[in-house]
Amino acid sequence: MSYKTIFEPFKIKSVEPIYVTTEEQRKEYLKNAFNNPFLLESDQVMIDLLTDSGTSAMSANQWAGMMRGDESYAGARSWKNMHKVIKDLTGYHHILPTHQGRAAERILYTLLGGKGKTFISNTHFDTTRANIEYTGAEAIDIPVPESLHAKLIHPFKGNMDVEKLEEIIKEKGPENIGCVILTVTNNSGGGQPVSMQNAKDINFICKKYDVKFFLDCCRIAENSYFIKHREKEYENKTYKEIAQEMFSLADGAIMSLKKDGLVNMGGFLGIEDEKLSEKCSSLLIITEGFTTYGGLSGRDMEAIAIGLVEIFDADYLLYRIKSTAYLGEHLDKMGIPLMLPIGGHAVYIDSKELYPHIPVDQYPGQALVCELFLKGGIRAVEIGSVMFGKYTDKHKLIPASMELVRLAIPRRVYTQSHLEYVIEVFEKILENKNNVKGMEITFETLFLRHFTAHFKQL
Amino acid sequence: MTKTFIKHSWAEPYKIKMVELLHMTTKEERVPAIKEAGYNTFLLKSKDVYIDLLTDSGTSAMSDEQWAGMMVGDEAYAGSENFYHLEDAIKKYYGYKYIIPTHQGRGAENIISRIMIKPGDVIPGNMYFTTTRLHQELAGGTFADVIIDEAHDPDNLFPFKGNVNLEKLETLINITGADKIPYLSIATAVNMAGGQPISMENLKQLRKLSDKYGIKIIHDMTRVAENAYFIQQKENGYSGKSIAEIVFEICSYTDGATMSAKKDALVNIGGFLAMNDEKIYEEARNLVVVYEGLHTYGGLAGRDMEAMAIGIAESVNDDHIRARIGQVEYLGHKLNDSGIPVVMPIGGHGVFLNAKKFLPHITRSNYPAQTLAAEIYIDSGVRSMERGIVSAGRDKVSGKENAPELELVRLTIPRRVYTQAHMDVIAESIESVFANRENIKGLKMLYEPKYLRFFQARFEKL
């Protein structure tokens, strides 16, 4: 279609009301949530951009699938349907269903991890890092250097630094590498895509040293869109073919289906190696569920089988990527400092640059997240030192490399006018930027503190 | 053999709103299907099954109210409204102070075991359950069975075969030392004993004893409402009380609970961990993020928390429970009246066939219950489950097969799914297998997984 309008290739079948609130009310809500939007009640939020995970609107076809869900404990039809679609997409021999992505991660990393092991990734996501560190292993991030410059335009800022990869494998010894994890798209690094060439290079190095290579592929359809449009030799391939090729380069994959599976719950672990898969099955049964349901209801498996096909539709992907870019380009034009180019599922704001007067140990990202809620009832998430910061022995903050705030866009949920409202709220954010103050943590937990921490405004 | 007179009708307090078509198979199709499944009913494809009595877990038919609740699922990652509904329902009907949702019951067992059990601890309980004991062992603990002896005798008619032997328990505490016992693991409607209830009197005594030694009680409450029904029917002083009141009272004698909501609470997926101790709650809140999901969704879709909140309220309705157990008793008494050896009294969620008596010519090492489950499938396409030597697994020290007293086949009845006519078909089929029992041969195990072997073990016919 040659029109400028971003055409939504669907119409609305069912709606959910949004409650309009005043700034006064929101002030109160935020106070009760200890300045952590994770602790807000969802009906206090007007536009929820906390995550694109599990928040998609399902299609009428998926809802019909929900009604056909086969809830048999063992050997359900719905598992057969889900298995068939995943097998066709990934080609892996062994597919294990899990209740969500982090369960697949925990199973795999428990078996591959442990003290003395190293995991290498373009960037580990929060739950990934937590799962790995929980086993006593270490997690090293090696994104390409371009990814650390927010403004630099590069088509594949999600790539892994392959030279560093080889260095680390040599330094640690191949036998001490738990595995190499390529996250597509690279979420913590700004939702930036990974090129097929990069995946091929990683495959080559991992083969050379006999190191396991896994994909964390929860947004692989969005990544395929970027490959088709930015990597010359793929322009005539379908999105699904591109995804299939990438799966073929790895030894297995972990997927949270709550993203590009277009469902509200679900995940899987795909593995080539039979022995590893048997060990994973044992752990799966203990903590998740039997191998033909993995802790999912039959109806959820049915919805997954349908969602994983819908996601590769060319019209859908065009709409998806363009509508994210629409929000990003407008904010960029207004002078909001962003991570560029705009990624697939979210717009990332550089809060350090927006609030240069707030030092990193006063969490400028958390300050922006609170400000967005106060001014417009928008819920976003900090991806900076609250999420990834660590402490020295003397309890001094070791900050994350960037102080980002993510506006994640749920799939098929918000319309263009909702996005225009968000843009309007950012005008207010700009007007008020010099009055915004930093934050202090008053309560935190050892792992994944961002979910439950409490904050005080300074 | 006495004819049992059923006093009042157990007609269903609902009508059918939606149906799922059943697939009828022929014997010619079933013989190769069970062979391909390694004579393990777990490995059958559901399309090859006619009436599925494998489990009552996650197989309930939801009500129209629950389906409507599914449509108002709030899928926000944090602070979903459905979580607050669930929290309210649990506080209202069960009375626990703090709750953490989990994707299913074993998620809650994993978390509580990791928090409370230290290596070398002993966890006394009223008979083991497969996943519960495994989580206790993985955390470094050892399970100790303190159920009354009557529970191991399938023919004993004692009404509360789920009770704890208090003397045995106190002796164990004195030998082990109270500091080595992190909690008592007390199940209502004891599954492995045949769905047998625990009495309120026994619970009161347990509370006294555990207070004396400062030990907590963690309640495996997956079938608490069914247990409450037996208290209402059989225990002095409770005939005038509602199921809801009895359930609330049961919970009040315990300090926390793990719940697989896939049973009593009438949902297809979901569970929770509940407790009154704030410190344990805080630790659990931190752990749940690693294993399950953020503490306001615990790995569940918003809609499933909503369905659970509604299901909990429906599960303590007196009419619902009477029809539920009425149906199970109908099948049980019908089989008993035909001379088939079943565990008596009939439990809450299923009828348990005594395979040792059913197939006395098959030795334990040739798995009589596993054999019987396969034979019933071949006869009619009815899928049941082994609960005997295969389920009991191996001793974690000696590596020898645990051989429990009971060698049972469980015919578990899903809630609100099958009709009286289906119960009649099941009875007919078991009667025909019984008539032909002398020609049935045992099984040999070909493949044995390390954990929870009953799920995936494979067999061949002798």
Angstroms from B357 CA to nearest CA on chain A: 28
Mark whether A48 and A92 lie in a shared domain: no
- Alpha carbons A438 and A358: distance in angstroms, whole number: 6
| Contact yes or no for A196/A154 (Cβ under 8 A) | no
Beta bridge partners of A213: A180
B81: nearest CB among A43, A74, A291: A43
pLDDT tens, position by position, A32-72: 999 999 999 999 999 999 999 999 999 989 999 999 999 99
Residue B379 forms part of a structural domain: yes
> B273, B300, B315: which is the final residue of a domain?
B315
> A288, A310, A332: which is the final residue of a domain?
A310
Mark whether A292 and A408 lie in a shared domain: no
Among the listed ranges A343-357, A385-399, B211-225, which one has the minimum average pLDDT value? A385-399
Average pLDDT estimate for A87-100: 97
Q: One-letter amino acid identity for A63?
A: W
List the single best residue of A19, A62, A297, A382 to mutate versus B (max B Cβ within 10 A): A297
Does residue B6 carry a pLDDT above 70? no
Mark whether A71 and A38 lie in a shared domain: no
pLDDT tens, position by position, B180-196: 999 999 999 998 888 99
* A370: containing domain: 23-52+313-457
Average pLDDT estimate for A154-168: 97
Residue B263 forms part of a structural domain: yes
CA closest to B78 among chain A residues: A38
Q: Which of B245, B72, B77, B17 is nearest to A56 (CA)?
A: B77
Quick one: pLDDT at residue A2?
63
B301: nearest CB among A42, A264, A281: A264
Chain B residues touching residue A451 (CB < 8 angstroms) = 78, 289, 294-295
Mark whether A232 and A339 lie in a shared domain: no
Residue A415 forms part of a structural domain: yes
Residue A352 forms part of a structural domain: yes
- Alpha carbons B221 and B241: distance in angstroms, whole number: 19
Q: Which of A287, A308, A285 is nearest to A73 (CA)?
A: A285
Residue A29 forms part of a structural domain: yes
Mark whether B178 and B273 lie in a shared domain: yes
Chain B residues touching residue A14 (CB < 8 angstroms) = 71
Angstroms from B380 CA to nearest CA on chain A: 18
- What the block records as the tokens of B9 is 């009708």
DSSP string of A162-225, one letter each residue: HHHHHHHHHHH-GGGEEEEEEESSBTTTTSB---HHHHHHHHHHHHHHT--EEEE-TTHHHHHH
Share the mean pLDDT of chain B: 94
> A310, A344, A370: which is the final residue of a domain?
A310
DSSP string of A245-280, one letter each residue: HHHHHSSEEEEETTTTT-SSS-EEEEES-HHHHHHH
Chain B residues touching residue A50 (CB < 8 angstroms) = 76-78
Angstroms from A230 CA to nearest CA on chain B: 32
Mark whether A426 and A452 lie in a shared domain: yes
Give the residue carrying structure tokens 């709030």: B74
The residues, any chain, with a CB within 8 Å of residue A247's CB and separated by 6 or more, are A89, A90, A91, A92, A215, A217, A220, A253, A270
Mark whether A227 and A301 lie in a shared domain: yes
- Alpha carbons A257 and A310: distance in angstroms, whole number: 13
Mark whether B257 and B335 lie in a shared domain: no
- What the block records as the tokens of B106 is 């074993």
Backbone angles phi, psi at B147, to 5 degrees: -75, 155
Chain A residues touching residue B135 (CB < 8 angstroms) = 286
CATH of the domain at A427: 3.90.1150.10
> B259, B292, B315: which is the final residue of a domain?
B315
Residue A13 forms part of a structural domain: no
Mark whether B347 and B385 lie in a shared domain: yes
- What the block records as the tokens of A117 is 């092991």
Average pLDDT estimate for B145-165: 95
Residue B181 forms part of a structural domain: yes
Residue A265 forms part of a structural domain: yes
Cβ contact, residue pair A295, B52, below 8 Å: no
Does residue A404 carry a pLDDT above 90? yes
The residues, any chain, with a CB within 8 Å of residue A378's CB and separated by 6 or more, are A45, A46, A47, A49, A372, A407, A422, A425
CATH of the domain at A238: 3.40.640.10
| Contact yes or no for B168/B188 (Cβ under 8 A) | no
Cβ atoms within 10 Å of A307's Cβ, excluding its own: 27
Mark whether B304 and B340 lie in a shared domain: no
Mark whether A325 and A336 lie in a shared domain: yes
Angstroms from B109 CA to nearest CA on chain A: 9
Mark whether A266 and A158 lie in a shared domain: yes
Q: Dihedral of CA B124/B130/B135/B140: which sign?
A: positive
Quick one: pLDDT at residue B13?
86
What's the count of helices (H) and strands (E) in chain B, helices before strands? Answer: 16, 14
Mark whether B220 and B276 lie in a shared domain: yes
Residue B428 forms part of a structural domain: yes
Residue A6 forms part of a structural domain: no
- Alpha carbons B403 and B409: distance in angstroms, whole number: 15
| Contact yes or no for A21/A379 (Cβ under 8 A) | no
Residue B331 forms part of a structural domain: yes
Give the ipTM of the model, two decimals please.
0.75
Q: One-letter amino acid identity for A356?
A: P
List the single best residue of B289, B295, B447 to mutate versus A (max A Cβ within 10 A): B289
Cα torsion A101, A107, A110, A113 to 10°: value is -60
Mark whether B304 and B326 lie in a shared domain: no
- Alpha carbons A404 and A148: distance in angstroms, whole number: 11
Quick one: pLDDT at residue B1?
38
Q: Using pLDDT thresholds of 50, 70 and 90, give the confidence band for residue A437.
A: very high
Whether residue A341 is preceded by a cis peptide bond, meaning omega within 30 degrees of 0, is yes
Helices marked H in B8-63 — which ranges?
27-36
B58: nearest CB among A33, A130, A297: A297
The residues, any chain, with a CB within 8 Å of residue B295's CB and separated by 6 or more, are A451, A452, B100, B101, B285, B288, B289
What share of chain A has pLDDT > 70, as a percent? 100
Chain B residues touching residue A129 (CB < 8 angstroms) = none
Q: Dihedral of CA A424/A425/A427/A431: which sign?
A: positive
Q: Using pLDDT thresholds of 50, 70 and 90, give the confidence band for residue A448.
A: confident
Angstroms from A4 CA to nearest CA on chain B: 31
For Cα atoms B232, B234, B235, give the angle at the middle one, nearest 5 degrees: 75
Chain A residues touching residue B458 (CB < 8 angstroms) = none
Mark whether A334 and A246 lie in a shared domain: no
CATH of the domain at B254: 3.40.640.10
Chain B residues touching residue A37 (CB < 8 angstroms) = 78
Cβ contact, residue pair A40, B131, below 8 Å: no
List the single best residue of B20, B269, B282, B382 to mutate versus A (max A Cβ within 10 A): B269
CATH of the domain at B436: 3.90.1150.10
Residue A348 forms part of a structural domain: yes
- Alpha carbons B373 and B363: distance in angstroms, whole number: 15
Angstroms from A120 CA to nearest CA on chain B: 20
Quick one: pLDDT at residue A13?
84
Mark whether B396 and B301 lie in a shared domain: no
Give the residue carrying structure tokens 């300045």: A35
- Alpha carbons B51 and B414: distance in angstroms, whole number: 10
DSSP code at position B194: T
* Residue B378 or A388, more confident: B378
Quick one: pLDDT at residue B8?
58
Mark whether B241 and B328 lie in a shared domain: no
Cβ contact, residue pair B52, A72, below 8 Å: yes
Cβ contact, residue pair A452, B299, below 8 Å: no
Mark whether A163 and A35 lie in a shared domain: no
Mark whether B275 and B420 lie in a shared domain: no
Instruction: Quote the number of domains for chain B.
Output: 2
| Contact yes or no for B369/B355 (Cβ under 8 A) | yes
List the single best residue of A47, A84, A277, A451 to mutate versus B (max B Cβ within 10 A): A451
CA closest to B455 among chain A residues: A290
Chain B residues touching residue A281 (CB < 8 angstroms) = 449, 456
- What the block records as the tokens of B316 is 């303590």
pLDDT tens, position by position, B106-134: 999 999 999 999 999 999 999 988 889 98
What residues of B are annotated to the active site? Answer: 77, 129-130, 220, 263, 387, 454
Grouping H, G, I as helix, E, B as strand and the rest as coil, residue B462 is: coil
Mark whether A323 and A293 lie in a shared domain: no
CA closest to A445 among chain B residues: B286
> B262, B293, B315: which is the final residue of a domain?
B315
Q: Using pLDDT thresholds of 50, 70 and 90, give the confidence band for residue A1.
A: very low
Whether residue A185 is preceded by a cis peptide bond, meaning omega within 30 degrees of 0, is yes
Cβ contact, residue pair B268, A42, below 8 Å: no
Q: Which of A316, A298, A315, A215 is nearest to A262 (CA)?
A: A316
Average pLDDT estimate for A246-255: 98
* B136: containing domain: 64-315
- Alpha carbons A6 and B162: distance in angstroms, whole number: 64
Angstroms from A15 CA to nearest CA on chain B: 10
B54: nearest CB among A73, A134, A291: A73
Does residue B334 carry a pLDDT above 60? yes
Average pLDDT estimate for B439-462: 93
Cβ contact, residue pair B77, A40, below 8 Å: no
Does residue A128 carry a pLDDT above 70? yes
> The whole model's pTM is what?
0.84
Residue B20 forms part of a structural domain: no
Mark whether B305 and B343 lie in a shared domain: no
Mark whether B308 and B412 lie in a shared domain: no
Q: Using pLDDT thresholds of 50, 70 and 90, give the confidence band for residue A18.
A: confident
The residues, any chain, with a CB within 8 Å of residue B59's CB and separated by 6 or more, are A71, A72, A73, B52, B262, B268, B414, B415, B417
Instruction: Quote the number of domains for chain A.
Output: 2
* Burial state string for B244-271 with b = 16 or more CB within 10 A and e = fewer than 16: bebbbbbbebbbbbbbbbbbbbbbbbbb
Chain A residues touching residue B303 (CB < 8 angstroms) = 264
* Burial state string for A250-262 with b = 16 or more CB within 10 A and e = fewer than 16: bbbbbbbbbbbbb
Quick one: pLDDT at residue A302?
96
Residue A7 forms part of a structural domain: no
Quick one: pLDDT at residue B4?
44
Backbone angles phi, psi at B446, to 5 degrees: -105, -35
- What the block records as the tokens of A277 is 């898969």
Cβ contact, residue pair A40, B78, below 8 Å: yes
> A276, A310, A344: which is the final residue of a domain?
A310
A282: nearest CB among B18, B110, B450: B450
Does residue B5 carry a pLDDT above 50? no
What's the count of helices (H) and strands (E) in chain A, helices before strands? Answer: 16, 16
B75: nearest CB among A54, A106, A288: A54
Cβ contact, residue pair A41, B79, below 8 Å: yes
- Alpha carbons A161 and A171: distance in angstroms, whole number: 15
Quick one: pLDDT at residue B125?
97
Does residue A209 carry a pLDDT above 60? yes
List the single best residue of A46, A55, A66, A72 to mutate versus B (max B Cβ within 10 A): A72
Mark whether B366 and B250 lie in a shared domain: no
Half-sphere exposure of A431 (CA within 13 A, CB side): 6
Quick one: pLDDT at residue B129?
87
Average pLDDT estimate for B12-18: 85
Mark whether A233 and A292 lie in a shared domain: yes
A130: nearest CB among B48, B290, B451: B290
Residue B80 forms part of a structural domain: yes
Cβ contact, residue pair B76, A45, below 8 Å: yes
Residue B155 forms part of a structural domain: yes
Chain B residues touching residue A446 (CB < 8 angstroms) = 286
- What the block records as the tokens of A25 is 């009310």
pLDDT tens, position by position, A301-336: 999 999 999 999 999 999 999 999 999 999 999 999
A42: nearest CB among B18, B79, B286: B79
B107: nearest CB among A38, A287, A451: A287
Chain B residues touching residue A69 (CB < 8 angstroms) = 268
